[in-house]
Amino acid sequence: MTRHRNHGLGRLVARRLLVLPVVLVAVAAMTYLLVAVSPFDPMSAYEAGSAGLSAQAKDEIRAAWGMDAPTYLQFLHWLGNVLQGDLGHSRLLGGQPVLPQLGARLAPTAILVGTALALTLVGGLLAGVAAAAFRDSWVDRAIRGLSYVSVAAPSFWTGLLLLWVFSSWLGWFPAGGSANLRARDVGLVDPRYLVLPAIALAATQFAWFAMFVRNQLLEVMREDYVVFAQAQGIGRWPVLLRHALPNALLPFLTLAGVHLAEIVGGTILVETVFSWPGLGQLAVEAARAVDLPLLVGITLLGSVTVVLGNLLADVCYRVADPRIRESTA
């Protein structure tokens, strides 16, 4: 069995990783294409800050940034550089190489997304199990109510509410940023600054996940193997947690990728509300400025995250469900 499983998983991982570069090139080409057909022009975005440039000055600036060639040539040029490990230089970031700049800016967003993901999973799991275990009781009603509210509330609203209550009013948490601005030698982020934005970001997915766990559990509780486990005298919680829950969570792994993408996308609003120094804000800036190398770099980073996240979820799914594990062998 073990040999088979590894074989099947190995092939799955290898296949996906082989496809990844193709996906990335396609995403990059798509981004270039979108910019080419969009009415937005890097030069006019540039000019919005310094109006009234002469045609000659515009031409000089275009030439300096390689923006004078047709978009498809720019893309091919970019592609050629990528093969040498160069993702281009960003006008928005002082003309610095995109890759190391993104690397430097990735950490705060990754920490935020990771924390929010953990909060969503743990919080949603606890809430979903509690709601299912005490179905129709006040616990269930309270959790369902909270979920409906948090589904309906946009994340910036949740964020502002959190700030108002826990920062301005109670003063428990700072009002934004990722570290004390007065402090020297701060680390990547200060945990106190992480709490509120992580909750705001997690809130966007919490409701979905809690309700998913609850409904899935109630569904699975009717399955023969759960009834059989009960009939053997296995206690209520072991039945719920050891028999029903693993089966209830299996379908989640197939959906995890989609929701990972939503969380990654959600960082844009949350980072703005909490002045969190991450890629979400930078992405907006890059789009506004039509800074193609940066925009493509961020898009690719997002794509890699989502593809790898999906792959991880699929691997987990196969490891978690022995039936699928077998059939991929």
Partner 1 sequence: MRLRWIVALTAALSLGLAGCSSQPNSSAASGDQVDRTIVIGVGGEPSNLNPVFGDIYGSVYGDHWPVFSSLLDYGQDLELQPDLAAELPEVSTDGTEVTVKVRDDARWHDGEPVTAADVAFTYNAILDPSVATPVRDLLFRSLRKVDALDAETARFTLHEPDQAFLAKLTTGIVPEHVLAGQDLNKAAFNLAPVGSGPFVFDELRPGERIVLTANPDYYGGEVGLERVVVTFVEDESARVRQLETGALDVDAEGLGPQTIRRFEDNPDYRVVRIPGDLLTLTLPTTNAFFKQAEVRRAIGKAIDRQQLVDGLAAGAGRVVSGPFYPDHWATDPSVSVAYDPDAARAELAAHGWKPGPDGVLVRDGERFRFDLIYGHGYAEDAAALAIRDALGNIGIEVKPKALDYAEQQKQVAAGAASLQGLGNAYDPAIDVFDTYHSSLSDDDPSGNVARVESRRIDAAIERGERSNDLAERTAAYHELHRLLVEHGSWQYLMQGDNYYAVRADVSGVEPQVREGHVHGFSRGLLWNLADWSVSGP
Partner 2 sequence: MTGEGTPVLEVRGLGVSFRTRRGTVAALRDIDLQVAPGQVQVVVGESGSGKSVLAHSLLGLLPRNVEVSGSVRLEGEDLLGVAPERMRQLRAQHLAYVPQSPATSLNPVRRTASLMAEAARVKGVRRADLGERLPAVGAAVGLDYGSVARRYPHQLSGGMQQRVVNALALLGKPDLVVADEPTTGLDRDRVTATGNELLRLADEGASVLVITHDLDLAAALGGRTAVLYGGRLVEERPTAALFTRPAHPYTAALLAAMPARGLHPIPGQPPELTDPPPGCPFAPRCERVRPECGEQVPAATTLPDGRVWCHAAR
CB of 304 to partner 2, least distance (A): 31
Which segment (114-122, 229-237, 256-264, 289-297) binds partner 2 by CB under 8 A? Answer: 229-237
Using CB under 8 A as the binding rule, the residues of this chain from 271 to 310 that contact partner 1 are: 272-278, 281-282, 285, 289
- To partner 2, the closest distance from the beta carbon of 223 in angstroms equals 7
Least Å distance between CB 220 and partner 1?
42
Which of the listed partners (partner 1, partner 2, none) does 84 bind, with a CB threshold of 5 to 8 Å by partner kind? Answer: none
Using the 8-state DSSP alphabet, how is residue 89 labeled?
E
CA distance 187 to 179: 8
| Contact partner, 120, from partner 1, partner 2, none, Cβ < 5-8 Å per class | none
CB of 111 to partner 1, least distance (A): 13
Q: 46 vs 212, which CB is nearer to partner 1?
A: 46
What is the rounded CA–CA span in Å between residue 250 and residue 12? 18
Is residue 259 a contact partner of residue 205, using CB atoms and an 8 Å limit? yes
Q: Should residue 68 be labelled a site residue for partner 2 when binding is judged by CB under 8 A?
A: no
- Residue 188, exposed/middle/buried by CB under 10 A (0-12, 13-18, 19+)? exposed
Q: Alpha carbon of 87 to those of 72, 104, 125, 181, 215: distances in Å?
A: 16, 15, 40, 32, 45
The footprint of partner 2 on residues 242-301 (CB under 8 A) is 242-243, 246-247, 250
Does 197 bind partner 1 (CB under 8 A)? Our answer is no
Is the Cβ–Cβ distance between 42 and 289 less than 8 Å? Answer: yes
Of the pair 123, 177, the CB lying nearest partner 1 is at 177
Q: For 89, phi and psi rounded to 5 degrees?
A: -120, 145
CA distance linking residue 23 with residue 25, whole number of Å: 6
How many Å from the N-terminal Cα to the C-terminal Cα in the chain? 9
Q: 321: which DSSP letter?
A: -
Summarize as ranges the residues that interact with partner 1 (CB under 8 A). Answer: 39-41, 44-57, 60-61, 63-65, 89, 91-97, 101, 104-105, 108, 160-161, 163-164, 167-169, 171, 174-186, 192, 272-278, 281-282, 285, 289
Summarize as ranges the residues that interact with partner 2 (CB under 8 A). Answer: 1, 223-236, 238, 242-243, 246-247, 250, 320-323, 326
